[in-house]
Amino acid sequence: MVSDSPHIDAGELFFSRELSLLAFNQRVLDQAADEEIPLLERLRYLCISSTNLDEFFEVRIAGLKQKLAAGGLHSEPDTPSASAASTLRTLAVRAHALVDEQYRLLNEVLQPELEAEQIRFIRRSDWNTAQETWLQDFFQNELLPVLSPIGLDPAHPFPRILNKSLNFIVSLEGRDAFGRRSGMAIVQAPRSLPRLIPLPAGTGDSGPYDYVFLSSIIHAFSDQLFPGMQIRGCYQFRVTRNSDLFVDEEEVDDLLHALQGELPSRRYGDAVRLEVADNCPEDMARFLARQFHLEDDDIYQVNGPVNLNRLLAIVDLVDRPDLKFPPFTPRLDHQLWQGNIFATLRRQDVLLYHPFDSFVPVIDFLRQAARDSKVLAIKMTLYRTGPDSVIVETLASAARAGKEVTVVIELRARFDEAENIAVASRLQEAGAHVVYGVVGYKTHAKMTLAIRREKSGLRHYVHLGTGNYHPSTARVYTDYGLFTSDAAIGDDVRKIFLQLTSLGRVSKLKKLLQSPFTLHTGLLEKIQRETEHASAGKPAAIIIKVNSLVEKSIIKALYAASTAGVKIRLIVRGMCRLRPGVAGLSENIEVRSIVGRFLEHARVYYFDNNGSPEVYCSSADLMERNLFRRVEACFPIEDTVLRQRVIADLHTYLADNTHAWVLQPDGEYLRLTPGNAPPRHAQMEILAAHAGEVD
């Protein structure tokens, strides 16, 4: 048994998922320091690390604080019993260090390099007379009319502060128009205001890309908000709140309307973090913390804008292609795109790997299905997409044309609930059948089914993917998509749609693995098969590529396989609780994370199977929620050529020595370097192989 290993205590079998997630965010931040990456893209990575950290607090830290409030332990079987309080303290130390590094990189590295390229954020102390005059006019005409300062007194209590909004606490001296002494006031910056204000070229010595932070302008002219009073200090702050929505699906009659009612509460959930300017006096920072019921560990004093992710606008505002990744044109199979997709799929399966392959065929598959008089029905799952998506418009037009269109929309896709509600309403207005999945289970599977009447009878044409039907993310997320008219796979997909709409039981699937029913047990069986092969001296190997690996029975099965001699290579982008490289337990397991230009998102499962390899792609990560609380699809790549293509991609990732981090037994990640070997960059090699030359 794994737990009986003499080399490691049972409580040390699994890394902390929260610390693992922070470690991933550190790898993202490391990209901002990588001088081999174009400068504006490094700024983008800094902003991504800030956005990731926001979500970490909104979801992970918020969950731990809820456990703490309930007096519970943050512990699971086979892990050390730890209080939520001690876990929060450990995470606070790591998070504070990460935030300090973010601002060090901004102030000491990126800003000087940006200034050298004439991209400047002009501080108040550096404004010349012409700039100050222009900014004062801007404040008077554009900002002052929409700002509503609130002096704090018994008639003006501390206001409700929006989640992640920009605010200022102002220290005042003197009496207002009514003779009152307030002492403090709050100024809230409306979200409609841009956070970066471009200075017109020619204003003083302004260059082509000079910007001033909104916070600097409000700070500089804050005295105009409090006429007759003295400003002793003005300090920006931002509060992060619990953003999980709670809807008791068993108790509501209409999930859409219930979610609509809950969405506003996300803006005012329990506070979990306070960011304040580093020059804010300690007594004022603690005053703010008390208003939000936060402790000292929850206060993050920062040397710069409290909303780093707003710097992302610079990447689009600055027209400097030389400071960005070179553009590329995804490969487009013209036979598939310009011809009849149904005729192509009757001859062969087609596999796309986005963004290296174009997303256009996915859209065209839907368009042809919508126009084809022989297509009787279209069924599709949508998890994340936009109401203005061409996919939504195509489905709506098919419904208006009289086709049977059924769309399973997951309303509870975190942070996309509002957009998904809009999509659902639009499709219903067009006459499509819209359902919201299964109560208690998120529908995360990515499936499209077109049912076509042909001479031989009804034929099922299917698209199955590892990522969302979202054309924008298909440009930056790596995801596989399989087109097939295989009868067994088509029937499996039809059965899953029947299950999602009718809620009836379905017979056993022939080729697909599906959570929450067969995916977990199916993967365990395949891992066990490799274990038995290794024990019998037969070839045995496992390669898994996922976003997260945290589910314990899968990890234990991989430990057992390693002990039996199975060579296991794991490509895990984010959270990984498995401890590799432990003698007698996991010495045959390597874990690496690839962080590059594109977000690694595809989930792939490879099993050697005694020389007859099997490859599956899936929408599911190896997490409890994916395996037990979601509807997921895992599909085989059966065509020999396509299967070998996926295997070749996996081996390319395993050869990366420039953008790969290898997980160590102590939980730290070590970035690989080429040394004397030729440098290998997996994403760029795959881009060259799939999409041809970069533009």
The tens digit of pLDDT for each residue in 216-228 reads 999 999 999 998 8
What is the pLDDT at residue 245? 45
Say which CATH number the domain at 292 has: 3.30.1840.10
Q: Where are the beta strands (DSSP E) in 128-249?
A: 150-151, 167-173, 184-188, 196-198, 209-213, 230-241
**Tens digits of residue pLDDT in 332-357:** 877 676 678 999 999 999 999 999 99
Q: Do 522 and 639 reside in the same domain of the chain?
A: yes
- Using the predicted structure, report yes or no on whether residue 388 has a pLDDT greater than 80: no
Whether residue 329 lies inside any domain: the answer is no
Q: Rounded distance, CA 198 to CA 110, Å?
A: 19
What is the pLDDT at residue 248? 40
Q: Do 316 and 353 reside in the same domain of the chain?
A: no
The predicted model gives 99-103 an average pLDDT of 97
**Tens digits of residue pLDDT in 495-539:** 999 999 887 777 799 999 999 999 999 999 999 999 999 999 999
What is the pLDDT at residue 29? 97
The pTM score is 0.91
Report percent pLDDT > 90 for the chain. Answer: 72
Q: Do 417 and 469 reside in the same domain of the chain?
A: yes
Would you state the structure tokens that stand for residue 1, as one six-digit string? 């048994």
Q: Do 506 and 524 reside in the same domain of the chain?
A: no
Contact 358, 335 (CB under 8 A): no
**Which H or E element spans position 531?**
helix 519-535
Q: Do 598 and 615 reside in the same domain of the chain?
A: yes
DSSP 8-state symbol, 657: S
- Using the predicted structure, report yes or no on whether residue 50 has a pLDDT greater than 70: yes
- Using the predicted structure, report yes or no on whether residue 454 has a pLDDT greater than 90: yes
What is the pLDDT at residue 541? 98
Q: Do 352 and 446 reside in the same domain of the chain?
A: yes
Residues annotated as catalytic (active site), given as ranges: 444
Q: How many CB atoms lie within 10 A of CB 28?
A: 20
Q: Where are the beta strands (DSSP E) in 317-456?
A: 350-354, 375-382, 404-409, 433-435, 442-443, 446-454
> Given pLDDT bands bounded at 50, 70 and 90, which one contains residue 203?
confident
Say which CATH number the domain at 534 has: 3.30.870.10
Q: Do 149 and 291 reside in the same domain of the chain?
A: yes
Whether residue 95 lies inside any domain: the answer is yes
Whether residue 600 lies inside any domain: the answer is yes
Residue-averaged pLDDT of the chain = 89
Burial environment of residue 504 by CB neighbours within 10 A (0 to 12, 13 to 18, 19 or more): exposed
How many domains does the chain divide into? 3
- Using the predicted structure, report yes or no on whether residue 326 has a pLDDT greater than 90: yes
Q: Which residue has the higher pLDDT, 646 or 268?
A: 646
What is the pLDDT at residue 207? 81
Q: Rounded distance, CA 567 to CA 589, Å?
A: 6
Whether residue 328 lies inside any domain: the answer is no
- Rounded to the nearest 10 degrees, the angle between the axes of helix 17-32 and helix 39-55 is 160
Whether residue 2 lies inside any domain: the answer is no
Domain range spanning residue 616?
Answer: 515-691
Q: Do 506 and 527 reside in the same domain of the chain?
A: no
What is the pLDDT at residue 287? 95
Torsion angles phi and psi, residue 278, rounded to 5: -70, -20
Of 280, 298, 323, the last residue of a domain is: 323
Q: Do 460 and 536 reside in the same domain of the chain?
A: no
Of 292, 323, 354, the last residue of a domain is: 323
> Given pLDDT bands bounded at 50, 70 and 90, which one contains residue 652?
very high
The predicted model gives 320-337 an average pLDDT of 88
Contact 606, 566 (CB under 8 A): no
What is the pLDDT at residue 266? 45
Calculate the CA 470 to chain-centre distance.
13
What is the pLDDT at residue 690? 74
- Using the predicted structure, report yes or no on whether residue 595 has a pLDDT greater than 80: yes
The predicted model gives 163-171 an average pLDDT of 94
The predicted model gives 386-401 an average pLDDT of 87
**Tens digits of residue pLDDT in 536-594:** 999 999 999 999 999 999 999 999 999 999 999 999 999 999 999 999 999 999 999 99
Q: Do 454 and 567 reside in the same domain of the chain?
A: no
Q: Do 298 and 338 reside in the same domain of the chain?
A: no
Whether residue 208 lies inside any domain: the answer is yes
Q: What is the dihedral of CA 36, 41, 47, 48, to 10 degrees?
A: -80
Q: Do 362 and 308 reside in the same domain of the chain?
A: no
**Amino acid identity for residue 291 in this structure:** Q
Cis before 613? omega within 30: no
What is the pLDDT at residue 428? 86
Whether residue 388 lies inside any domain: the answer is yes
**Tens digits of residue pLDDT in 606-632:** 999 999 999 999 999 999 999 999 999
Q: Which residue has the higher pLDDT, 507 or 76?
A: 507
According to DSSP, the residues that pair with 513 across neighbouring strands are: 634
The predicted model gives 25-46 an average pLDDT of 97
Report percent pLDDT > 70 for the chain. Answer: 89
- Using the predicted structure, report yes or no on whether residue 249 has a pLDDT greater than 60: no
Whether residue 638 lies inside any domain: the answer is yes
Q: Which residue has the higher pLDDT, 523 or 152?
A: 523
Of 299, 323, 347, the last residue of a domain is: 323
